Amino acid sequence: MRITKYNNPLGLEIGEFVTITAISTVEYDVKGNKDVHSRLLNKTTRIVGCVKKAIGKRIEDNCFGSSEDYAPPYLAVSKYIWLYECKNAIHEKSFLVLPENIEL
């Protein structure tokens, strides 16, 4: 029986083998929006953890006339998502996968 939590929606355990249908990346688009992009892939891999990522819009125009009013750029967060961190082998780089791209 799988125990699901807010940060583990599928109830997967570390070290468990799963089949994935896409790899996800969280990055900025040309308009400054931070969003999830998926690349199709069909392979079996191992779960190594969960990662919380913020999604939103990058705000850069923060100078209000003088240099004293300057505010650094920031991310206006619209929501948080949980992604599974996976690896194929211990010496390879890990990658992220959305829960809906995992087949049990």
4 inside domain? no
Return the CA Rg of the chain: 18
Identify the pLDDT of residue 96.
Answer: 95
Q: List beta partners, residue 58.
A: 75
12 inside domain? no
Tens of pLDDT along the chain (104 residues) come to 677 787 888 999 999 999 999 999 988 887 878 888 899 989 999 999 999 999 998 887 766 566 666 777 888 899 999 999 999 998 999 999 999 999 98
Identify the pLDDT of residue 97.
Answer: 95
Instruction: Give the separation between CA 47 and CA 29, rounded to whole angstroms.
Output: 28
Determine contact, residues 36/55, Cβ cutoff 8 Å. yes
Instruction: Give the separation between CA 22 and CA 84, rounded to whole angstroms.
Output: 12
Identify the pLDDT of residue 82.
Answer: 92
Instruction: Give the separation between CA 13 and CA 10, rounded to whole angstroms.
Output: 9
Domain count along the chain: 1
Domain span at residue 44 reads: 17-103
30 inside domain? yes
94 inside domain? yes
9 inside domain? no
Identify the pLDDT of residue 65.
Answer: 61
Angle at 10 between CA 33 and CA 27, to 5 degrees: 15
88 inside domain? yes
What token pair was written down for 56? Answer: 């939103």
